A and B are shown apart, each in its own frame.
Chain A
């Protein structure tokens, strides 16, 4: 594949571009799903193509193609150059990329069992058995069990001499049950809903989830939620657990710290960020126990790789350190704007047909101390919420509202009855500033976000957020229309 890719580099060099690269990407994506006793998805998708990026006299051009011939690669490179020439019509200064050494390397996601080698019928048998358990009660109107496997094989060459081959493998799955009665519906999932839990690795990820051990509980809790009281409204203390903490980190810190967004380059679509560059190193983002670390080397992380799509080697860095804004998600184009001469390496593209853009890396809340029980014991009047059902945040990542699958009332230090439709609202720095306890490393776990959307044209990216349950004081809870 590098032989084919080198044609693009040859054309780029011939036209004396400032920088050029080609990523040849082969993807395989398998989805197997059962819903209400029927196969709802049994798809196997493969794509192969290449995206060529050139920086010509300081202006960007990008074109992609799927015709795997040298002539087509050369034509696509010329098209990218022509587009870059058009970009020169509206530029302020020349785009310059931060320096990065050239690498010749191979990297792949560690895994134990190739999920594509597991027979489809084995997967279907497991899913049908789960489905049967979920539907054991007639009040469950929608039962869903699914598995997804994704492999991306990429060959990346740059005009600077990098020649990087990577094979990334992700696996995920879940069970969800929706109970419906008298115009009311309640969803419960394991490990979470929205397509389920994903991590980097193979079939062992599915085995480790042990879905059959949780299907009965998921069904019973969905039914119990039908008759549970609605989460009361008020200003109360909040414990966030399950994958809801991943969404909280993702929306209010992850996107807010993407440097392209901070600089206004996402304004026309997803918006900008309140975490502007003059705040770097000074702004109190959260309480002193809040440490949020970006890490492209994290084992099991969906954004873990040897290199990003700017050909920058994987790194680990603080976004928030001891509560202070300390870093951003960067690419090689924009990192100079905050005085950095090297990108932290968080630039990725969705498949072969998209240009690499700044993305959220794996971003985790570092554990502190104690247990969830100790967090509960410190609350007089509060709610514990688990697993996300809805999310919304404003265009500068300040005002947010989240909804969760299930809540538990907390009174006088004791976790009590379950509550339905639990929701909370907040303003990002005030909310993180109210964090007064984070459980210890024994409860820390990694959650995958498999469908993060950004950019125009829209691109999907995957990343993980690790956390232990955490406690927040005086939060606006139970917001209803």
Chain B
């Protein structure tokens, strides 16, 4: 970190006379990947990347590099200054942000997690693969861990930093024509129950053998947390960001303050909440807690400084690295849990489909949040409140505005998941969910 500070100082000295922002990210990551009950990839990487943004009265340039020797710094800044010199002024360009007080974030760093060894990861893969091998199942998945440090500084006196560690155990088990999946991520390896995840995926794979052919159509669905998180992440990204809102492309346009979604849905973005993260955004501005949806009423959208200015409001602290193609984004989402367990959600379903996970989801139409995708790794028919039998996978084509207006129940057990950022998400039961076709497995 000291080294990064020194590099920032050198860059500021070279960029004297213009505004200068440095974003430095140090990332050490390791991943052990297994498939067919053997380790197939075992990799480690160390990276340190710098991005330097230069601004001068409506002119801008951004140079990125991963070598921090004096010659590279000098060349990068000189190239940026040269671009500034020849550029016409852009009156809409914002100057750099001034420093603002940042409340401390939650501790998200654990040294043991950051430094897990290759043999630890291989050992965890082996535990699963050996158990699967004994029962004719096939283990696939990853164990990965690492740490990252982010610094954002500018020559107006802004200097913020955040570090975190992470570990993820992701398991896919094949059992003849059945498959199951389980995954957990955390900043602390002590929160990962490897054996439980392995057992969940193995049991689901066994239960999903000999799937029957389903008939496409509208069904009540019980979506497990990962399935909810997948489609909700799309809705967040393309609906609740200030840029999409300002451009009239979000379904939220003209509907703020209105009851559009189910009263059972409350959605917040909170860097200190159930899906915590760094307490500042990529402009170095403090993140604020934003309630996006309260009991189905659309309450707010998130902003960076640019979209806030266009909307005549203040940044909520949700900037991505600037300049941002995507605009601001909420990355610490949490759905307020309900009262029912997953079993209760199933029990309350007369006839419906239980979905473990979605695959290859994609947005079709932003104004209705119409999305398509496939079910994956365990899809089951529910009859009379019980999981009746496994079914082959189906494609859904569904407006998520309509789907989240049709929530029948929200589960009580939220999972901490990775999406476009982090998301804490419980299971849900939704009615009238449209499956447009089936596949052959």
Q: Are B38 and A267 in contact, CB atoms less than 8 angstroms apart?
A: no
- Chain A CB within 10 A, most for which of B37, B141, B363, B397: B397
Q: Are A142 and B364 in contact, CB atoms less than 8 angstroms apart?
A: no
Q: Are B39 and A399 in contact, CB atoms less than 8 angstroms apart?
A: no
A contact residues around B142 at 8 Å (CB): 268, 456
Q: Is B308 an interface residue (CB 8 A)?
A: no
Given the known inter-chain contacts A271-B359, A425-B437, please indicate yes or no for A264 contacting B36, CB distance below 8 A.
yes
A contact residues around B38 at 8 Å (CB): 90-92
Closest to B85 in A: A121
Q: Is B117 an interface residue (CB 8 A)?
A: yes
- Of A59-67, A167-175, A309-317, which binds chain B? A59-67
Q: Are B438 and A180 in contact, CB atoms less than 8 angstroms apart?
A: no
Q: Is B174 an interface residue (CB 8 A)?
A: yes
Q: Are A90 and B34 in contact, CB atoms less than 8 angstroms apart?
A: yes
Q: Is B367 an interface residue (CB 8 A)?
A: yes
Q: Are B360 and A392 in contact, CB atoms less than 8 angstroms apart?
A: yes
Q: Are A83 and B118 in contact, CB atoms less than 8 angstroms apart?
A: yes
B contact residues around A183 at 8 Å (CB): 253-254, 367
- Minimum CB–CB distance from A76 to chain B (whole Å) comes to 8
- Chain B CB within 10 A, most for which of A183, A266, A267, A425: A267
Given the known inter-chain contacts A45-B65, A86-B122, A264-B140, please indicate yes or no for A184 contacting B367, CB distance below 8 A.
yes
- Minimum CB–CB distance from B152 to chain A (whole Å) comes to 16
Q: Are A86 and B118 in contact, CB atoms less than 8 angstroms apart?
A: yes
Closest to B248 in A: A180
Q: Are B374 and A62 in contact, CB atoms less than 8 angstroms apart?
A: no
A contact residues around B39 at 8 Å (CB): 59-60, 87, 89-91
Closest to B246 in A: A141
Q: Is A38 an interface residue (CB 8 A)?
A: yes
Q: Is A114 an interface residue (CB 8 A)?
A: no
Number of A-B contacts (CB under 8 A): 262
The residue that A265 contacts in the complex, of B36, B88, B123, with Cβ under 8 A, is: B36
Q: Are B40 and A121 in contact, CB atoms less than 8 angstroms apart?
A: no
Given the known inter-chain contacts A40-B323, A66-B66, A267-B174, please indicate yes or no for A86 contacting B35, CB distance below 8 A.
no
Q: Is B249 an interface residue (CB 8 A)?
A: yes
The residue that B140 contacts in the complex, of A268, A399, A479, with Cβ under 8 A, is: A268
Given the known inter-chain contacts A421-B365, A456-B33, please indicate yes or no for A83 contacting B44, CB distance below 8 A.
yes
- Minimum CB–CB distance from A42 to chain B (whole Å) comes to 6
Identify which of residues 290-312 in chain B touch chain A, using a CB-to-CB cut-off of 8 Å.
none
Q: How large is the interface on A (under 10, 10 to 19, 20 to 34, 35 or more residues)?
A: 35 or more
Q: Are B397 and A65 in contact, CB atoms less than 8 angstroms apart?
A: no
Provide the B237-260 mask, 1 if CB < 8 A to any CB of A, else 0: 000000000011100011000000
Q: Is B148 an interface residue (CB 8 A)?
A: no
Q: Is A43 an interface residue (CB 8 A)?
A: yes
Q: Is A369 an interface residue (CB 8 A)?
A: no
B contact residues around A336 at 8 Å (CB): none
Q: Is A119 an interface residue (CB 8 A)?
A: yes
Identify which of residues 369-397 in chain B touch chain A, using a CB-to-CB cut-off of 8 Å.
370-374, 376, 393, 395-397
Provide the B24-52 mask, 1 if CB < 8 A to any CB of A, else 0: 00000111111111111111111111010
Closest to B29 in A: A457
What CA separation (Å) do A92 and B126 show in the bound complex?
12
A contact residues around B254 at 8 Å (CB): 183
- Of A2-10, A46-54, A321-329, A411-419, which binds chain B? A46-54
Q: Is B90 an interface residue (CB 8 A)?
A: yes
Q: Is B93 an interface residue (CB 8 A)?
A: yes
A contact residues around B341 at 8 Å (CB): none
Q: Are A480 and B370 in contact, CB atoms less than 8 angstroms apart?
A: yes
B contact residues around A86 at 8 Å (CB): 32, 42, 117-119, 121-122
Q: Are A44 and B66 in contact, CB atoms less than 8 angstroms apart?
A: no
A contact residues around B412 at 8 Å (CB): none
Provide the A389-413 mask, 1 if CB < 8 A to any CB of B, else 0: 0111111101101010000000000
- Minimum CB–CB distance from A451 to chain B (whole Å) comes to 13
Q: Is A120 an interface residue (CB 8 A)?
A: yes
What CA separation (Å) do A3 and B129 show in the bound complex?
41
Provide the A444-481 mask, 1 if CB < 8 A to any CB of B, else 0: 00000000000011000000000000000000100111
Q: Are B67 and A398 in contact, CB atoms less than 8 angstroms apart?
A: no
A contact residues around B119 at 8 Å (CB): 86, 89
Q: Is A355 an interface residue (CB 8 A)?
A: yes
A contact residues around B376 at 8 Å (CB): 271, 394-395
Q: Is A178 an interface residue (CB 8 A)?
A: yes
Q: Is B440 an interface residue (CB 8 A)?
A: yes
What CA separation (Å) do A427 and B440 show in the bound complex?
9
Closest to A391 in B: B362
Q: Is A68 an interface residue (CB 8 A)?
A: yes
Q: Is B145 an interface residue (CB 8 A)?
A: no
The residue that A42 contacts in the complex, of B32, B62, B441, with Cβ under 8 A, is: B62
B contact residues around A98 at 8 Å (CB): none
Q: Is A228 an interface residue (CB 8 A)?
A: no
- Chain B CB within 10 A, most for which of A44, A124, A423: A44
A contact residues around B33 at 8 Å (CB): 268, 456
Q: Are A39 and B93 in contact, CB atoms less than 8 angstroms apart?
A: yes
Q: Are A263 and B36 in contact, CB atoms less than 8 angstroms apart?
A: yes
Identify which of residues 79-123 in chain B touch chain A, using a CB-to-CB cut-off of 8 Å.
79-80, 83, 86-88, 90, 92-93, 117-119, 121-123
Q: Is A41 an interface residue (CB 8 A)?
A: yes
What CA separation (Å) do A271 and B365 show in the bound complex?
26
The residue that A63 contacts in the complex, of B36, B41, B45, B87, with Cβ under 8 A, is: B45
Identify which of residues 417-441 in chain B touch chain A, using a CB-to-CB cut-off of 8 Å.
434, 436-441
Q: Is A82 an interface residue (CB 8 A)?
A: yes
A contact residues around B88 at 8 Å (CB): 121, 124
Given the known inter-chain contacts A264-B140, A395-B374, A456-B142, please indicate yes or no for A62 contacting B44, CB distance below 8 A.
yes
B contact residues around A480 at 8 Å (CB): 370, 397
The 9 A-B pairs at the shortest CB distance, nearest first, are namely A86-B118, A399-B439, A45-B64, A268-B140, A267-B140, A62-B43, A43-B62, A89-B122, A353-B45
Add 15 more A-B contacts to A39-B60, A355-B41 (CB < 8 A). Answer: A37-B92, A40-B325, A41-B325, A42-B61, A65-B46, A178-B247, A263-B36, A264-B36, A265-B35, A268-B33, A354-B45, A398-B440, A399-B438, A425-B437, A481-B370
7 of the cross-chain contacts (CB-CB < 8 Å) are A45-B65, A47-B65, A86-B118, A267-B35, A267-B172, A392-B374, A395-B359
